[in-house]
Amino acid sequence: MIDIKSALTLIQHNFPQVAIQTSLPITRGWDSFVLDINNELIFRFPMREDVIAYLQKEIRLLPVLELALSTPIPHFDYIGHGDEYYPFMFVG
């Protein structure tokens, strides 16, 4: 299970260019833990291994949708990797 401290450590380790000033947990659901960073970035951490396949599909699909649709589509600027305590990838 990931917590705020672990999530912040992973973000800092994977993306040292992100200067974290504030963090606010948005939700912790069955699939993901979501954390707002600096009121600018949203990071999503899968809670289970089976969620990774869906996240990988989303990573591939969102850029295609962004080009094809006229409505704003979210995209991932950050794709991080876990560590020995949190073994999953995560996105921001």
- Is the pTM higher than 0.85? yes
CATH assignment of the domain containing 47: 3.30.200.20
Model pLDDT for residues 38-69, shown as the tens digit of each residue: 999 999 999 999 999 999 999 999 999 999 99
Contact 27, 44 (CB under 8 A): no
Q: How far apart are CA 50 and CA 74, in angstroms?
A: 22
> Domain containing 16: what range?
4-91
